[in-house]
Chains A and B, each alone.
Chain A
Amino acid sequence: MLTYIIRRLLGMIPMLIAISIFTFLMMHLAPGNAIDAMINPRIKDLAQVQKTLEAQNGLNLPLPVQYLHWLWNVLHGNFGFSFSQHQPVSSLLGPAIENTLILAILAEILILIIGIPIGIMQARRPYSRLDYSTSIVSFVFFSVPYFIFAIFLMYVFAIHWPIFPAQNAVGTGPNSGSLIDHIYHALLPAISIALTSNTVYSRYTRGSMLDVSRQDYVRTARAKGLQEGQVFRKHVFRNAMVPIVTQFGFDIGGLIGGAVILEGLFTYQGMGLLTINAVSQRDYPVIMATTLLIAIGVLIGNLVADIMYAIVDPRVQYN
């Protein structure tokens, strides 16, 4: 298992390099650059200033040289300097990742503790009135974009009854608050995500449980005299969780990218907000760094999914 994990981690390196080259090219092929975004277009000697700044930032060098320069620095732990925020990129990334992870983990916990029990309940009595009614509610919630919930929750719990903050005060920089403070700020956005996304898990759980309950070994479990609750807990649920746990692995990988719209709405200082601001300001070093991290997140997520799969299903063996 350990050698398998190491092999997979090494296998990520070429993929990450390919992703970074691709991002690098896409950024530089788009019209305009960071200098355009930064300087006031009405100053004197515009062209001259632009030239000087470009030269200072190495933007006049050939692209391959610029890329290798970037790669060399990253390998030494240096992600460069943000054009727009005048700080080292790494000092922006740290708090953003932390915030995003807090939001993601909180949302994921809520998704699971809402979605899985609903799915189990539906699978215990499929095609019953309870199954139909909860399914309809789930689908309605699922078809509403999460920012609608966000706006609604914000109105009710931040403005009407000001229990939670509507805007995020903590975040980047030296003023970021304690963990409790972070969680407090992340709660409303997390609930907004969970209200819609739990449907994915409830449907998945329901389908998987129904699939499994038709299997021969469930009949065997009943033939042994186990009671219905035990049959479901030990035999049906355990097997039904195999695909769900795998899905969960994939999901947590994707979450590092942050929820762009939601982070915008709550001015939540996560990866999503950082990336989207960087894109609009052509802040190349920040874009390169966030893209790289998001890619690493997805790849690690896939690895986690495979590892979880092997843990829950003894038939799966990696050599």
Chain B
Amino acid sequence: MAEPLLAIRDLRTYFISKNTEVRAVDGIDIDVQKGQILCVVGESGSGKSMTSLSIMRLVPKPRGKIVSGEIVLDGQDLLKLTEQQMTGVRGNDISMIFQEPMTALNPVLSIGDQITEVILRHRKITKKEALHRAVEMLKFVGVPRAEQIVREYPHQLSGGLRQRVMIAMAMVCEPKLLLADEPTTALDVTIQAQVLELMRKMRDEFGTSIILITHDLGVVAEMADHVVVMYAGQVVESVNADELFEQPLHPYTKALLQSIPSIDADHEVLYSIPGTVPDAASFPAGCRFAERCPLAQPSCFEKAQALREVRPGHLVRCDLVEEGGV
């Protein structure tokens, strides 16, 4: 396979305070190929957001800290850059969109102002040209009346439009990688589909790779080329999307897939996984899922599991899965 655009190696992001150490991200490896849409799934608290914030080096200060690892973008380890150099990467090589388009835009600055400021930060062009570019981008993401909208403020737009503005803002410098942290969760269903469609269009048009974080396996089925399943700060399964749905191997992934509401049912039946995610301040020594795992053996509670390639391109963190995958 070709050199990945982004290679994350053994990334660890902890929240450190006097007597606790919350291991939000605890040794993660992820490869993102050029033009790939990679979905990250997992229950709440599994470290998805902290992974994406780590890539941006925007982990909440002062307690959050990237303690070790490498994040290599196009051959360049982002963790080795100075803060000043990193600001040149943000919004330019890597962009990010967030869950709440409501609060992610600045209420007192006009839409035009907020989009042009990214362009002016990273490109040497005049204000007028930047505004022109902003209007073009807004048109491209399907914002109607783009010429007027640049003079309006976020509160004057609907949720769907705001998320389009966020996408326009993120894409305006044509980044190599777009991080989207649950970008559609706050939107209603029809708007959700449109925004997802738009993100795919961005990938097709600009060749941008996308890391899409989501709770929604329906979104994964719709969008993903590759899927990474996270549990308790670790990757437990990593495989291409088709194989994930056809042949999930990790007991946690299987449980997650069973929790998708069936489409035909009139009332949604949610299969929820019994038990809770272990506390990130004190993970168990053995397999982190063992306590909730229907297949757990005594050995699972003692031995930490390693991520293994059980079939070509199919990685699983479970010793019970045999080579070849059963």
Contacts and interface: CB of A to CB of B under 8 A. Distances in A.
Given A223-B95, A224-B118, A314-B155, A235 B106 contact: yes
B58 A219 contact: yes
B96 A217 contact: no
Interface in A271-319: 312-315
A174 interface: no
A215 B109 CA distance: 14
Given A222-B90, A225-B91, A315-B153, A238 B121 contact: no
A286 to B, nearest CB: 45
Contact of A216 (B91, B104, B110, B122): B104
Interface string A202-235: 0000000000000111011111111100100011
Contacts of A230: 121
Contact of A223 (B90, B105, B122): B90
B107 A314 contact: yes
A313 B106 contact: no
Given A216-B103, A223-B56, A234 B87 contact: no
B213 interface: no
B15 interface: no
B284 to A, nearest CB: 32
A199 B117 CA distance: 34
A220 B105 contact: yes
Range, interface on chain A: 20 to 34
A242 interface: yes
B88 A225 contact: yes
A142 B169 CA distance: 45
A219 B97 CA distance: 10
A243 to B, nearest CB: 12
B89 A238 contact: no
B92 interface: yes
B88 to A, nearest CB: 6
B292 to A, nearest CB: 32
A239 interface: yes
Contacts of A314: 107-108, 110, 153, 155
B88 A217 contact: no
B106 A224 contact: no
Nearest to B103: A216
B29 interface: no
B119 to A, nearest CB: 10
Contacts of A315: 107, 153, 155
Contacts of B153: 314-315
Contacts of B58: 219, 222-223
A313 B108 contact: yes
Contacts of B104: 216-217, 219-220
B252 interface: no
B97 to A, nearest CB: 9
19 contacts: A216-B103, A216-B104, A217-B103, A217-B104, A217-B106, A220-B98, A220-B166, A223-B90, A223-B96, A224-B118, A225-B89, A225-B90, A226-B91, A226-B121, A234-B117, A235-B109, A238-B106, A313-B107, A314-B153
Interface of B: 56, 58, 84, 87-92, 95-96, 98, 100, 103-110, 117-118, 121-122, 153, 155, 166, 169
Given A220-B105, A224-B118, A225-B118, 6 more contacts: A216-B104, A219-B58, A239-B106, A242-B108, A314-B110, A314-B155
